[in-house]
């Protein structure tokens, strides 16, 4: 005898329950209703079977509904279910089994009836078989988007059992034409979706705008080309990407809805954000308020932190992937590739550069918030105060409260200091006049820092020494600069070239690019002016005795030629640093943090204040840390700034490209302080404020190209050198040309 058709409706909304009654009421024999899982359990007392369940789910009630369903399956046998919601149902995909459906509210009458008629007359299937298929439902059911689909596509599936061959299938829409192996034509139907237009394609994937016909919702639909359908690696990789993307739960990142397979086409659907990208807006010359740009930075920062902390590998955010929806809210096209490693240091820096590029088109110096302008100017650069990491951007957008976490006693001390400061500001007129007089005296009399003579050379004797991994290298005698080249020294070089333009050709390297016509360092006028006054540059104290920075390889070799020397090879640099014994650091084999200027105190950290270890946050005068001295008496080889060498080698990421090497750590370096560490430049034209240089000579008294004059271009005399005897040398006949890059080693 056929059993009655019993429908259970679970929904806290009476109106929504009435809607389901109106659709299915004349198709069932009995209807049970409840507002939640607990009341549904009470309503089922004495009921020995259930034909179908329609239940509302949301973040709060969903787990209880699915637990109830599982318990009922065990007690009274399997029954198909419909789950519906106004909310995103992605978290529940793994719990949906065969013959079940998810509908967004309001539920479409025709689709619900069609599903009901397709499943109500099917033969019962053992519950264990159905649960084993959870997450791999047919085309009418969303597949799991948070767990990988391990089954193979239909084309390569194993032979089904006889009972499965006889089992009816739900009614499905099929493609009106034979599907191609690659991109699908517009108009193709894949299950519940109709392709409306192609958005983009490449060699393996295509992205469409599609309509989910059951609920009239427009989505983005990404397909894997059918040519890959029999390759489980492609299929599994595609499903894994969909799974990882669907697991994203961040308000600024677009959603992934469901993953499915139809007629050999693996696809998944995403939220279609109908909004222009920053790239589109820039092309239209649209304007965005500063508040919107701040929102973009905040959303990008928050999203990057979320992806990093959740171990998600992802594509970099670009102007094309950042969308501005109505209400000026930023939305980021889902960038997730899968589970994997976070961005590398180089990728984080590139990400900062891409974000700056995306926003810079909308900045206007006359109206843009100066703080925003300054922030963008620091992102993805070689500046000392550059923002080149996700954490750096977070700190810049959310500077810590200096009073946060302080005890009551500490807060009281700060309050006392602030009170004293106020009293000082409002002090007596006599005190004010004294201070004002001191300031006027300082401005009138001047307080320029002393420029010291630091252009000395140290002899490195000929002989064998252990190079790199204790390879024995023999070098001849040479002289190396005791200190790094200073700002004062480099100013004399620029002054001489300005007074004698013909020397530009004499110092020019034969492989120097034609467009390289000036040897002026990056932001030279700014930091040279600050150095003369003993002021600050990028927040760091600077004077003329500090190392010249912002110089590329061509600048360094030109100065060395002008000075009568050359850049050291990396073997010469390492011998001067490690000595005959091959020590790990200039002073020995034990790292002593306070002996050299490093990045261990470049930024404040827990228990470490800026500059608290070596005394300097940024660069220091080249003779400031005499403890950083090698066995031969050479100063500053371990830290302060990295130094250009004459040696070129293959770039570690691009083996077919030769680039110059740098040696030594800088004030921003936080690891790799060993003197054997080799640092490849990105190119000979690389300029930053972490790199300087020193020079070597094959003779004790190198002959400078500077000439005697009344101006400030005379070089400081080297040991034993008479300034009056310095004569022009034309091209540097004393330089070892074998150390310069040969034409075949020039950058490409």
In the chain, domain spans = 6-134, 189-271, 278-397, 408-445, 457-745
What would the two tokens of residue 508 be? 């020019």
Collect all residues with Cβ–Cβ distance below 8 Å to 334 and sequence separation of at least 6. Answer: 245, 248, 253, 254, 255, 256, 270, 271
Please report the pLDDT score of residue 170 as a whole number. Answer: 34
- Cα–Cα–Cα angle for 715, 718, 723, nearest 5°? 50
52, 121, 231 from 49: Cα distances, Å? 10, 15, 43
DSSP summary character for residue 20 = H
Please report the pLDDT score of residue 57 as a whole number. Answer: 93
The C-alpha atoms of residue 723 and residue 166 are separated, in whole angstroms, by 103
Residue numbers in the chain where pLDDT is lower than 70: 1-2, 122-178, 327, 365-368, 400-447, 707-748
The C-alpha atoms of residue 38 and residue 332 are separated, in whole angstroms, by 40
The C-alpha atoms of residue 744 and residue 668 are separated, in whole angstroms, by 33
Superfamily of chain region 189-271: Phosphorylase Kinase; domain 1 (3.30.200.20)
Q: Which candidate, 508, 668, 621, 638, places its Cα nearest to that of 573? A: 638
Please report the pLDDT score of residue 123 as a whole number. Answer: 53
The C-alpha atoms of residue 695 and residue 644 are separated, in whole angstroms, by 9
What would the two tokens of residue 247 be? 């697991």
Other Cβ atoms within 10 Å of 379 Cβ, number: 24
What would the two tokens of residue 658 be? 């030769």
Which residues in 458-487 are b (16+ Cβ under 10 Å) and which e?
bebeeeebbbeeeeeeebeebbbbbbbbbb
What would the two tokens of residue 720 be? 């034993």
What would the two tokens of residue 652 be? 């570690």
10, 123, 344, 457, 742 from 662: Cα distances, Å? 70, 75, 21, 20, 18
Query: What is the dihedral sign for C-alpha 713, 717, 718, 722?
Result: positive
The C-alpha atoms of residue 307 and residue 506 are separated, in whole angstroms, by 53
Please report the pLDDT score of residue 411 as a whole number. Answer: 58
378 exposure class (CB count in 10 Å sphere: 0-12, 13-18, 19+): buried
Q: Which candidate, 619, 584, 581, 583, places its Cα nearest to that of 599? A: 619
Whether residue 205 contacts residue 224, with contact meaning beta carbons closer than 8 Å, is answered with: yes
For tokens 């009458």, what's the residue?
Answer: 109
The C-alpha atoms of residue 705 and residue 726 are separated, in whole angstroms, by 7
Main-chain phi, psi angles of 38, to 5 degrees:
-65, -45
Other Cβ atoms within 10 Å of 342 Cβ, number: 16
Give kind and range of the element (H or E) at residue 353: helix 345-360
Whether residue 564 contacts residue 729, with contact meaning beta carbons closer than 8 Å, is answered with: yes
Reduce the DSSP state of residue 439 to 3 states and report it: helix
Q: What is the pLDDT of residues 232-247, one digit of tens each?
A: 788 888 888 888 888 8
The C-alpha atoms of residue 268 and residue 221 are separated, in whole angstroms, by 6
Please report the pLDDT score of residue 675 as a whole number. Answer: 93
The C-alpha atoms of residue 106 and residue 15 are separated, in whole angstroms, by 11
DSSP summary character for residue 241 = H
Q: Which residues pair with 714 in a beta bridge?
A: none
What would the two tokens of residue 453 be? 């003579």
Whether residue 659 contacts residue 741, with contact meaning beta carbons closer than 8 Å, is answered with: no
The C-alpha atoms of residue 413 and residue 23 are separated, in whole angstroms, by 72
The C-alpha atoms of residue 711 and residue 37 are separated, in whole angstroms, by 92
The C-alpha atoms of residue 254 and residue 242 are separated, in whole angstroms, by 13
Please report the pLDDT score of residue 564 as a whole number. Answer: 94
CATH number for 278-397 (one of 3.40.1030.10, 1.10.510.10, 1.10.10.410, 1.10.287.90): it is: 1.10.510.10
Pairing status of strand 312-314 against strand 336-339: antiparallel
User: Would you put residue 555 in left (φ > 0), alpha (ψ -120 to 50) or beta?
Assistant: alpha
- For the chain, what is the radius of gyration of the CA atoms? 36
Whether residue 487 contacts residue 475, with contact meaning beta carbons closer than 8 Å, is answered with: no
Please report the pLDDT score of residue 93 as a whole number. Answer: 76
Give kind and range of the element (H or E) at residue 359: helix 345-360
pTM listed for this prediction:
0.43
The C-alpha atoms of residue 367 and residue 350 are separated, in whole angstroms, by 27
What would the two tokens of residue 377 be? 């100017």
96 exposure class (CB count in 10 Å sphere: 0-12, 13-18, 19+): buried
| CA quadruple 302, 307, 313, 316: dihedral, nearest 10 | -10
Whether residue 622 contacts residue 454, with contact meaning beta carbons closer than 8 Å, is answered with: yes
Specify the length of the chain in residues: 748
Whether residue 714 contacts residue 543, with contact meaning beta carbons closer than 8 Å, is answered with: no
Reduce the DSSP state of residue 741 to 3 states and report it: coil
CATH number for 457-745 (one of 3.30.420.80, 3.30.565.10, 3.30.110.70, 3.90.1580.10): it is: 3.90.1580.10
The C-alpha atoms of residue 457 and residue 700 are separated, in whole angstroms, by 8
What would the two tokens of residue 651 be? 């770039």
Pairing status of strand 658-663 against strand 642-650: antiparallel
The C-alpha atoms of residue 226 and residue 188 are separated, in whole angstroms, by 14
Half-sphere exposure of 643 (CA within 13 A, CB side): 33
CATH code: domain 6-134 is: 3.40.50.2300
Query: What is the dihedral sign for C-alpha 312, 315, 317, 320?
Result: negative
DSSP summary character for residue 614 = T
Q: Which candidate, 363, 359, 306, 358, places its Cα nearest to that of 334? A: 306
* Angle in degrees, 0-180, between the axes of helices 290-309 and 390-397, rounded to the nearest 10: 140
């Amino acid at each position: 005898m056929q059993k009655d058709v019993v429908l259970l409706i679970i929904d806290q909304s009476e109106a929504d329950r009435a809607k389901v009654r109106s659709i299915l009421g004349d198709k069932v024999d009995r209807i049970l209703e409840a507002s939640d899982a607990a009341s549904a359990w009470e309503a089922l007392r004495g009921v020995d079977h259930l034909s179908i369940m329609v239940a509302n789910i949301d973040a709060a009630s969903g787990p209880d509904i699915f637990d109830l369903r599982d318990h009922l399956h065990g007690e009274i046998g399997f029954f198909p279910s419909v789950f519906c919601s106004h909310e995103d149902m992605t978290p529940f995909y793994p719990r949906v089994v065969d013959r079940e459906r998810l509908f967004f509210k309001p539920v479409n009458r025709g689709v619900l009836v069609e599903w009901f008629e397709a499943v109500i007359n099917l033969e019962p299937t053992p519950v264990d078989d159905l649960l084993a298929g959870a997450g791999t439902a047919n085309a009418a059911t969303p597949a799991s988007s948070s767990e990988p689909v391990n089954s193979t596509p239909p084309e390569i599936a194993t032979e089904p059992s006889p009972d499965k061959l006889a089992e009816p299938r739900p009614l499905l829409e099929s493609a009106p034409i034979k599907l191609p192996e690659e991109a699908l034509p517009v108009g193709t139907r894949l299950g519940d979706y109709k392709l409306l237009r192609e958005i983009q394609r490449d060699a393996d994937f295509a992205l469409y705008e599609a309509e989910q016909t059951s609920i009239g919702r427009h989505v983005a639909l990404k397909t894997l080309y059918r040519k890959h359908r029999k390759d489980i690696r492609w299929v599994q990789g595609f499903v894994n990407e969909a799974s990882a993307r669907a697991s994203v739960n961040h308000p600024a990142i677009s959603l992934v809805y469901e993953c499915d397979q139809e007629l050999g086409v693996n696809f998944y659907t995403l939220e279609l954000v109908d909004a222009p990208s920053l790239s589109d807006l820039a092309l239209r010359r649209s304007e965005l308020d500063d508040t919107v740009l701040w929102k973009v930075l905040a959303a990008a920062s928050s999203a990057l932190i979320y992806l990093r902390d959740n171990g998600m590998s992802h594509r970099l955010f670009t102007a094309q992937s950042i969308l501005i929806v109505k209400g000026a809210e930023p939305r980021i096209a889902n960038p997730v590739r899968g589970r994997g490693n976070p961005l590398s240091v180089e990728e984080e820096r590139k990400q900062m550069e891409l974000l700056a590029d995306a926003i810079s088109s909308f900045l206007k110096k006359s109206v843009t918030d100066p703080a925003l302008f300054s922030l963008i100017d620091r992102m993805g650069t070689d500046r000392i105060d550059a923002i080149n990491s996700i954490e750096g951007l977070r700190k810049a957008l959310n500077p810590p409260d200096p009073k946060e976490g302080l005890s009551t006693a500490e807060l009281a001390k700060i309050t006392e200091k602030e009170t004293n400061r106020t009293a000082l500001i409002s002090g007596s007129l006599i005190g004010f006049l004294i201070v004002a007089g001191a300031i006027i005296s300082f401005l009138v009399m001047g307080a320029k820092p002393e420029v010291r003579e630091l252009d000395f050379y140290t002899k490195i004797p000929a002989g064998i020494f252990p190079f790199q991994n204790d390879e024995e290298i023999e070098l001849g005698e040479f002289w190396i600069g005791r200190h790094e080249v200073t700002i004062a020294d480099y100013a004399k070089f620029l002054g001489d070239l300005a007074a004698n333009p013909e020397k530009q050709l004499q110092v020019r390297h034969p492989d120097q690019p034609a467009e390289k016509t000036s040897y002026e360092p990056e932001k030279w006028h700014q930091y040279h002016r600050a150095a003369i006054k003993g002021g600050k540059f990028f927040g760091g104290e600077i004077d003329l005795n500090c190392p010249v920075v912002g110089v590329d390889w061509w600048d360094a070799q030109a100065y060395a030629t002008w000075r009568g020397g050359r850049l050291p090879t990396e073997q010469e640099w390492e011998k001067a640093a490690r000595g005959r014994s091959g020590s790990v650091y200039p002073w020995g084999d034990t790292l002593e943090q306070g002996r050299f200027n490093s990045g261990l105190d470049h930024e404040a950290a827990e228990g470490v204040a800026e500059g608290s270890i070596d005394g300097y946050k940024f660069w220091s005068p080249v003779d400031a840390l005499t403890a950083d001295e090698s066995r031969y008496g050479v100063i500053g080889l371990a830290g302060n700034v990295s130094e250009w060498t004459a040696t070129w080698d293959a770039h570690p990421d691009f083996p077919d490209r030769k680039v110059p090497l740098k040696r030594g750590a800088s004030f921003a370096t936080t690891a790799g302080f060993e003197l054997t560490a080799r640092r490849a430049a990105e190119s000979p034209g690389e300029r930053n404020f972490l790199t300087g240089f020193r020079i070597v000579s094959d003779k004790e008294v190198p002959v400078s190209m500077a000439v005697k004059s009344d101006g400030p271009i005379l070089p400081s005399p080297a040991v034993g050198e008479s300034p009056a005897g310095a004569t022009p040398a034309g091209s540097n006949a004393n330089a070892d040309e074998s150390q310069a890059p040969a034409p075949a080693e020039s950058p490409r």
